[in-house]
Chains A and B, each alone.
Chain A
C-alpha cells in the first residue's frame, strides 16, 4: 500500500485545525468577542483566558477562532468567484482556440494581470467603502484570470487528443465536450491551483484588514488583530505573535496541501514516487 505524501498529511492536518476552529466558533467560543471588559485587559496566557486577552479585555483564543471564520469565508468565496468565472472562460477560450473570442478572453485576462492586485483591491475598497464583501470581490476578481489561464492551458493539450475527435464524431458540441471530457481531466490542475489561491486569498484578506479595508469592527479578523497589536509590540508581544503565527501556519498548511495534492493527482509524479 502506497502512503500519502507527508506534505499532504501535515498540510491537511494544519488546514483542518483552522477549519475546525472556524466551524466550532459558530456554535461556541470561550468568551464573547464583542464583550469589552476593561477589567480583564492584557491578561497573560493561561488561567481563565487560555491565550490571554488584548487591551480591551477580549479573549484572544475566541478572536482567533472567529477570525478564522472571516479569513476562510473571504478566501473561499474569492476562490469560488475565480473558479466560477475563470474556468468557463478558460474552457471557452480553449474550445475556440485562435478565434476572436479566445483573443478577447485572454487579452482581458492580461489586462487584469497588468494591475498590481493589492493596489486594485485597495482602490475598490476605497471607492465602495471598506467591508468584507468588497474585500471578497477585490480578491475574487484577481482569481479569475489565474483560473482562466490554468483551465485554458490544460484544455488546449486535451483538445488535440483522439478521444476529443471521437466525441466530435459522436456529434457532441464544444460545450458538451468541455463539460464531459475536458473539465474532469483538468480537475486535478484546478484543485491544486485552488489550494494555492486559497492561501493567497487568506494573505490578501489579512493584508486588507491590516490596513483597515477588510472586515470592519467589531468582526474580528487576523489582519486587524495584527494592526491593533502594533502599538504594544514591545510591551505585549504575544498580541502580535499569536495572529502572526496563525496566519503563517494556515498559509503553510494550505501550500503543503497543494504540493501534496499535486503529487497525488499528477500521474507523472505519482509514478516517480513509487
Chain B
C-alpha cells in the first residue's frame, strides 16, 4: 500500500536520508527503529510532506501507486487526516490548550467535509469512546486530562476519518510504563479492527518486538536491516542491530561492594505542599507528596528507587539533597541531619546528576566553570592551575578530554553532557551520588556506555548510588536493592533480583507486567 522507493533527503545540502526503501502492507504494523538523528522521524515527515524549510527529497513515496512527493500542498491537505493520520511523542503539546477535546477531534472531520457540526461531534464522540475515553466529556480541556488520556485524544483525532495509514512517532516515549502498555494495546486493537496500517517509530526495540509484524532498523539516514520482526531480532544480521540489541539489555559488569554501614538514613519522611488556593486567603488541604518514607543507603551500595511520574520520587530527591524542608521525619547523611541549612561540608558529600542533559548547564558558562561550580562548597576553593587540574582529573574520570574545558555545553552531544554532569558531581569527591533519571533521556547505546561508566566509577571511587528512575530495565541492570514507590509511599523493598523475579506487591507486579520485554521466540 505504501511504497517508499530510494528516498533521499537533504536539508540545506546536509544529507539526512540516503536511499530509504520500504513497503508497508495493508493492515500491517511496521516498526521503524533507530536512535536519535537516524532519520526515522524525517522518513515519516517526508511521507506526510511536512518537511522543514530547505528540505529537498528525491526518490518516491507512493500511496496506492500515486507519488506523494509530487503532490501539491492542496492535494496533500486533502490526504492528511483523511488517508494519512499521525500522532506525536508529546501529547502535552500536540493538543491546543484552549480548545475542548471534542472540538479538536471533530475539527479534522469538518475540514474534510465529513458532515455538519452536530454530525462531526457525534462521530467524534464515537471515536473518543473507541479509544477508551467514554467517561470523559467532549467539553473537557487538555489540561484536565492525564498524559495517557491526552495521547488517546490524539489517537482519536488521527483515526477520526479511518485513515489507511497511521504514523505513530514515539507515541509512548513520554508516558509511564503502565500507560505505555495500554496505549500500545489500543493501537494494536485499532489496527486489527479498522484494517489500518501502522508505522510505529521508536527507539525502543522492546516496543517493536512486542508490536510489529515487520521491522526496519535505521542508522544515520539509512535502513541497515529490514524484515519480519522475529527474523530480524533473532538473526541480527547487521552489526548495528546487534549493537542496538546488546545495548537495550545491557548489563554493566559490577561487583558487590555493599557494606552494612548506613551512609544515608531516611526515616518516616513526610513532605507536603500547600493546597490549591481556594480564595484570596484560603487554601485547600495540603498535598502529601512523600508520605512516611523510610530506607537506608549503605556504603558502596547501589539502591534503586522506581515509580511512575507523580509518585513523589523527585520530591524525595530534593529533600535528600537538602534543597527543600521536610514536614516530618528525619534524613541523616553520615550521621548528621540533612536539610536546607546543612553545612557545606556535608553538602559536598552528596551530589546529584539530573535527567535533562540540556537543562543541566548554564548555557553561558564554559565546561571548566560548570564542573568547578561545587567547589563553592569547600572552605578554600582551589584557584587557577589547581582548579584546572582538578577539573581535568574529573573530566578524565568520565572519559572526556581535559581540552574540553574551554568549550560551551552546546558543543557536546547528550551523552557527553551527561558525562560532564557526572564530572561535576564527582569534583568534590562525594560518597553519595543521587542519579535522578540520569540515563532516561539518552539513546540506548549511549545509555549502555554511561551505565558502564557509572559501574566503573563506583568500583574505583567507592561511591554509593541512589538511582531514581521509571525505567525498570535500567534499574535492574545497575542496582543491588530496589525500592518501589507509589503515591508517596514505598510499597516494596528488596534485593533487585528478588523483586524483579518474584514481586510481592500488586503494584510492582503491574509495573513489571506492563514493561515491554525484548524476548525472541
Q: CA–CA, A163 to B370, complex, Å?
A: 9
Q: CA–CA, A169 to B351, complex, Å?
A: 7
A172-184 Cβ-contact flags toward B at 8 Å (1 or 0): 1000000011001
A170 at the interface (CB under 8 A from B): yes
Verify B323–A167 contact, CB threshold 8 A. no
B361 at the interface (CB under 8 A from A): yes
Which of B129-137, B373-381, B448-456, B511-519 has 4 or more CB atoms under 8 Å from chain A? B373-381
Assuming the contacts A169-B321, A169-B352, A171-B344, asked whether A162 and B359 have C-beta atoms less than 8 A apart, the reply is yes
**Minimum CB–CB distance for B53 against chain A, Å:** 9
**Minimum CB–CB distance for B414 against chain A, Å:** 13
Verify B377–A163 contact, CB threshold 8 A. no
A31 at the interface (CB under 8 A from B): no
Verify A162–B364 contact, CB threshold 8 A. no
Verify B377–A181 contact, CB threshold 8 A. no
Verify A181–B323 contact, CB threshold 8 A. no
Verify A169–B374 contact, CB threshold 8 A. yes
Assuming the contacts A170-B374, A171-B377, asked whether A185 and B364 have C-beta atoms less than 8 A apart, the reply is yes
Verify A170–B323 contact, CB threshold 8 A. no
**Minimum CB–CB distance for B375 against chain A, Å:** 8
Closest to B376 in A: A170
Verify A163–B361 contact, CB threshold 8 A. yes
Query: For B354, what are the chain A residues with a Cβ–Cβ distance below 8 Å?
Result: 162, 165-166
Q: CA–CA, A162 to B373, complex, Å?
A: 14
Of B322, B360, B363, the residue contacting A162 (CB under 8 A) is B360
A168 at the interface (CB under 8 A from B): yes
Q: CA–CA, A167 to B371, complex, Å?
A: 11
B172 at the interface (CB under 8 A from A): no
Query: For A170, what are the chain B residues with a Cβ–Cβ distance below 8 Å?
Result: 347, 373-377
B160-193 Cβ-contact flags toward A at 8 Å (1 or 0): 0000000000000000000000000000000000
Assuming the contacts A161-B359, A171-B344, A171-B347, asked whether A166 and B364 have C-beta atoms less than 8 A apart, the reply is no
A164-209 at interface with B (beta carbon < 8 Å): 165-172, 180-181, 184-185
A135-163 at interface with B (beta carbon < 8 Å): 161-163
Verify B360–A166 contact, CB threshold 8 A. yes
B67 at the interface (CB under 8 A from A): no
Interface residues on A, range: 10 to 19
B38 at the interface (CB under 8 A from A): no
A74-114 Cβ-contact flags toward B at 8 Å (1 or 0): 00000000000000000000000000000000000000000
Closest to A161 in B: B359
Verify B323–A162 contact, CB threshold 8 A. no
Verify A163–B362 contact, CB threshold 8 A. yes
Verify B356–A169 contact, CB threshold 8 A. no
**Minimum CB–CB distance for B377 against chain A, Å:** 5
B335-359 at interface with A (beta carbon < 8 Å): 344, 347-348, 350-352, 354-356, 359
**Minimum CB–CB distance for B485 against chain A, Å:** 20
Closest to B373 in A: A170
Verify B360–A163 contact, CB threshold 8 A. yes
Closest to B430 in A: A169
B424 at the interface (CB under 8 A from A): yes
Closest to A267 in B: B363
Q: CA–CA, A162 to B360, complex, Å?
A: 5
Verify B323–A169 contact, CB threshold 8 A. yes
Query: For B360, what are the chain A residues with a Cβ–Cβ distance below 8 Å?
Result: 162-163, 166
**Minimum CB–CB distance for B208 against chain A, Å:** 31
Query: For A181, what are the chain B residues with a Cβ–Cβ distance below 8 Å?
Result: 362
**Minimum CB–CB distance for B200 against chain A, Å:** 29
Of B351, B355, B364, the residue contacting A184 (CB under 8 A) is B364
B408-425 Cβ-contact flags toward A at 8 Å (1 or 0): 000000000000010010
Q: CA–CA, A138 to B416, complex, Å?
A: 52
Query: For A161, what are the chain B residues with a Cβ–Cβ distance below 8 Å?
Result: 359
B300-328 Cβ-contact flags toward A at 8 Å (1 or 0): 00000000000000000010011100000
**Minimum CB–CB distance for A186 against chain B, Å:** 11
Assuming the contacts A161-B359, A162-B359, asked whether A167 and B364 have C-beta atoms less than 8 A apart, the reply is no
Query: For B359, what are the chain A residues with a Cβ–Cβ distance below 8 Å?
Result: 161-163
Verify B376–A172 contact, CB threshold 8 A. yes
Query: For B352, what are the chain A residues with a Cβ–Cβ distance below 8 Å?
Result: 165-166, 169
Q: CA–CA, A166 to B434, complex, Å?
A: 12
Query: For A172, what are the chain B residues with a Cβ–Cβ distance below 8 Å?
Result: 373, 376
Q: Which of A170, A180, A181 has the most CB of B within 10 A?
A: A170
Query: For A168, what are the chain B residues with a Cβ–Cβ distance below 8 Å?
Result: 321, 323
Query: For B355, what are the chain A residues with a Cβ–Cβ distance below 8 Å?
Result: 162
**Minimum CB–CB distance for B278 against chain A, Å:** 15
Q: CA–CA, A168 to B324, complex, Å?
A: 10
List residues of chain A with CB under 8 Å of any chain B CB: 161-163, 165-172, 180-181, 184-185
User: Could you list 29 examples of A-B contacts with CB < 8 Å?
Assistant: A161-B359, A162-B354, A162-B355, A162-B356, A162-B359, A163-B362, A165-B318, A165-B321, A165-B323, A166-B352, A166-B361, A166-B373, A166-B421, A167-B373, A168-B321, A168-B323, A169-B350, A169-B351, A170-B347, A170-B376, A170-B377, A171-B344, A171-B348, A172-B373, A172-B376, A184-B362, A184-B364, A185-B362, A185-B363
Given contacts A162-B360, A166-B360, A168-B323, 20 further A-B pairs with CB under 8 A are A162-B359, A163-B359, A163-B360, A165-B318, A166-B354, A166-B361, A166-B421, A166-B424, A169-B322, A169-B350, A169-B374, A170-B375, A170-B376, A171-B347, A171-B374, A171-B376, A172-B376, A184-B362, A185-B363, A185-B364
Top-10 shortest CB links A-B: A162-B354, A170-B374, A162-B360, A162-B359, A171-B377, A171-B344, A161-B359, A170-B373, A170-B376, A171-B347
